[in-house]
Amino acid sequence: MKFRSLLVLLAAVSFAAPLHLSDGADTQQALDHISANSMRANLSFLASDAMEGRATPSRGLAVAAEFIAAEFRKAGLTGPVDGGYFQAADFYQLTRKNDGLSGTVNSEGEELKLDSSSAAVMRGQAAADLDHVAIFKQSGDTVSDEIAGKAVVIEGRGALSRLRALQEKKTAIILTPGRGGRGGGQTPRTQLVAADQLGTPGVPTVALRGESASKFFADLPDGLTKATITIHVPAAEKKPVKLRNVIGLLPGSDPLLKDTYVIVTAHYDHLGMLPPGEGDRIYNGANDDGSGVVSVIELAGALASLHPRPKRSIVFMTVFGEEEGLYGSQYYGRHPVFALSKTVADVNIEQVGRTDDNEGPQVAAATFTGFTYSDLPGLFADAGKETGVKVYDRNPGKDPYFARSDNQALADDGIPSHTVAVALEFPDYHKPGDEWEKIDYANMALIDRMLGLGIISLANDPETPKWNKSNPNTKKYIQAWQTLRPAQ
C-alpha cells in the first residue's frame, strides 16, 4: 500500500514537542487529541484496586465494560449492536472440586502421584478415565499425527497457544508441567465455555505443579516415551454467565468503502486476585492490557474528530477473556457484528505502556507480532517514520508471540491481524506489580500517534493488506482468507 506523504518536523527530540505535518492539517489536529494526561486518568481508574483485577467474569470486569462504553459514547461513536455498545455472549463457567482428580504417572519403575495438591484441570468439559495410556512429549511447534490417543506433554512459555493444534489430533489428555496456576491447589479450578460450544467436550488439559513433576517430565525424552499415565478427571459443574465485548463504530465517509471495516482491538480483562493472604493480592493489569484499552479509547476520540472522517468504517472493540484463552475475540470471530468478508484488517494493541522491556528500554519504538506475515506492519513502519517512532521486527526469523494475543482469533478467519507492543516482556508481567504508576504515558501517547496515522492511512487506502505468500507460516491464513473471499 502506498502511504500518503505526511512529513513530520520535530522541533526537538522530546515527547512534549508538537508534531507538525507539512500537509494534512486535519490529521495533525486529530493526532493532537491524543493526550498522555487523558490516558493516565483513564488507566488510573481501569487498573485501580477497585477493579479487583478485572477477572473474566467479575464485578470489576462489568464495571470496566460500562466505563469503556461511556467513553465510546463520549467520543461520538455509534453503538452498532441494536443501538448499544455491548455484544452479549452467553457462556458457562465450569468448576471442578479439588478432591476429584487422582492418578499416577509411571516411567521405568519411577512413579509420580497426581492429586489436587499437585495438579489442576485447566480445560476440557467432560470427565476422563485413562488406564496406562502412553505419554508423548511434544517439542517444537510441529504437531505429529503420532499423538492421537496418547497423553501429550507440552512445556515452556506459550505452550497453551498450541492447544488447538494438539486437540485437533484427538489426543487423550494434555499435561502442562510447571503451570499449576494461580491460587494453589486448594482453589477450585474454573473454565469458561461458550454456550454455542458446550456440546464439544474438548481434550482435558491438566496443569502440574511442583519440582517433582517438573523434573519427572524434564527427564523424559522427546517424542513417544515409555512412560504411561493412569488418571481420573472428574466432570465439571456448570453455571451460566453473561460476558460482553464492548464495540463502537466510526462510520466511514466514502460511499463505497464505508461498508468495509478496519478493526482496532484490545482486551480489557486481566487475572483477578490471589486468595486471601498477606501482601498485594490484586493483578491490576495496567500494562497488560489496560494500556491497550486506554489507547483504543484515545484513538477513538482522536479519529472521531476528523472532518471528513476516514473513508472506511473503523470498529473500536475491547474484548473479554483474553487471559483465559482469547474467548472474547474468538466469540466475535464466530458471531461477527460486521461481515468478516468486508473486514480488511485488525490492529490489536497490547502492552504499549511500559518501556522497561526485559531486553532493554524500548523508547520511541514498537514492534508488531508476525512482522513478516503480511504487509500491514510495513504500513505502520511508514507511519512511524512520520511520527518519530521506530517500528521494527523484534523477532526476525521466528515469532513466539503471534499466537498469544487476540490478533490470532481473527487471523484464523483469514483477516490480516497483528498485535502491536512496546514491552514484550517486562518485570511485572502477570504479577500484582503491574500498576498504573509505572506506565510511561508520554511514550504511550507517541506510540498512539503513530498508530493513529497508520489507521487513518489504512482506512483511506482503496488497497487492502495482504498476507505474505512467500512466508510458510501464513499458509493457513491465506487459505482462510480465500475461503472468506473466494472471488479474490
371 shares a domain with 324: yes
Segment 276-288 mean pLDDT:
93
Q: Is residue 3 part of a domain?
A: no
Tell me: pLDDT of 188 over 60.
Answer: no
- The residue among 179, 203, 233 that closes a domain is 233
Confidence label for 186 from pLDDT (cuts 50, 70 and 90): very low
379 shares a domain with 270: yes
Integer angstrom CA distances of residue 169 from 80, 202, 403 = 38, 11, 19
**What value does the mean pLDDT of the chain take?**
88
172 shares a domain with 55: no
Segment 39-65 mean pLDDT:
98
Cell 507511519 belongs to 383
Q: Is residue 59 part of a domain?
A: yes
Segment 267-273 mean pLDDT:
97
Q: What is the pLDDT of residue 207?
A: 83
Tell me: pLDDT of 58 over 50.
Answer: yes
Q: What is the pLDDT of residue 483?
A: 93
Q: What is the pLDDT of residue 307?
A: 92
Note down the domain range covering 150.
98-233
pLDDT tens per residue across span 215-238: 888 889 999 999 999 999 887 788
Tell me: pLDDT of 334 over 70.
Answer: yes
Q: What angle do CA 297, 302, 308 make, to 5 degrees?
A: 135
Tell me: pLDDT of 2 over 80.
Answer: no
Proportion of the chain above pLDDT 70, given as a percent: 88
- The residue among 181, 209, 233 that closes a domain is 233
pLDDT tens per residue across span 303-333: 999 999 999 999 999 999 999 989 999 999 9
Confidence label for 18 from pLDDT (cuts 50, 70 and 90): very low
59 shares a domain with 87: yes
Supply the CATH number for residue 193's domain. Answer: 3.50.30.30
Domain count for the chain, please give it. 2
Supply the CATH number for residue 361's domain. Answer: 3.40.630.10
Q: Which residue has the higher pLDDT, 193 or 246?
A: 246
Confidence label for 260 from pLDDT (cuts 50, 70 and 90): very high
Give me the residues paired with residue 241 across strands: 91
Tell me: pLDDT of 422 over 90.
Answer: yes
Q: Is residue 1 part of a domain?
A: no
Tell me: pLDDT of 109 over 90.
Answer: no
Q: What is the pLDDT of residue 51?
A: 98
Q: What is the pLDDT of residue 285?
A: 98
Segment 15-40 mean pLDDT:
73
117 shares a domain with 18: no
Confidence label for 15 from pLDDT (cuts 50, 70 and 90): very low
Q: What is the pLDDT of residue 135?
A: 94
Segment 438-450 mean pLDDT:
98
In the structure grid, which three cell numbers stand for residue 41, read together? 486518568
**What does the H/E/C string look like for the chain?**
CCCCCCCEEECCCCCCCCEEECCCHHHHHHHHCCCHHHHHHHHHHHCCHHHCCCCCCCHHHHHHHHHHHHHHHHHCCECCECCECEEEEEEEEEEECHHHCEEEEEECCEEEEECCCCEEEEECCCCEEEEEEEEEECCCCCCCHHHCCCEEECCCCCHHHHHHHHHHCCCCEEEEECCCCCCCCCCCEEEEEEHHHCCCCCCCEEEECCHHHHHHHHCCCCEEEEEEEEEEECCCEEEEEEEEEEEEEECCCCCCHHHCEEEEEEECCCCCECCCCCCCCECCCHHHHHHHHHHHHHHHHHHHCCCCCCCCEEEEEEECCHHHHCHHHHHHHHCCCCCHHHEEEEEEECCCCCCEECCEECCCEEEECCCCCECHHHHHHHHHHHHCCEECCCCCCCCCCHHHCCHHHHHCCCCCEEEEECCCCCCCCCCCCCCHHHCCHHHHHHHHHHHHHHHHHHHHCCCCCCECCCCHHHHHHHHHHHHHCCCC
Confidence label for 25 from pLDDT (cuts 50, 70 and 90): low
382 shares a domain with 252: yes
314 shares a domain with 189: no
Q: What is the pLDDT of residue 488?
A: 60
Q: Which residue has the higher pLDDT, 298 or 177?
A: 298
Segment 269-298 mean pLDDT:
95
Q: Which residue has the higher pLDDT, 463 or 141?
A: 463
- The residue among 206, 233, 260 that closes a domain is 233
Confidence label for 20 from pLDDT (cuts 50, 70 and 90): very low
85 shares a domain with 104: no
171 shares a domain with 319: no
330 shares a domain with 399: yes
Segment 345-373 mean pLDDT:
97
Q: Is residue 421 part of a domain?
A: yes
Segment 131-159 mean pLDDT:
82
Q: Which of 22-36, 151-165, 278-292 has the lowest mean pLDDT?
A: 151-165
Segment 462-479 mean pLDDT:
95
Q: Are 152 and 138 in contact (CB under 8 A)?
A: yes
Confidence label for 145 from pLDDT (cuts 50, 70 and 90): confident
452 shares a domain with 387: yes
Q: Is residue 2 part of a domain?
A: no
Confidence label for 214 from pLDDT (cuts 50, 70 and 90): confident
Tell me: pLDDT of 14 over 50.
Answer: no
142 shares a domain with 19: no
Q: Is residue 349 part of a domain?
A: yes
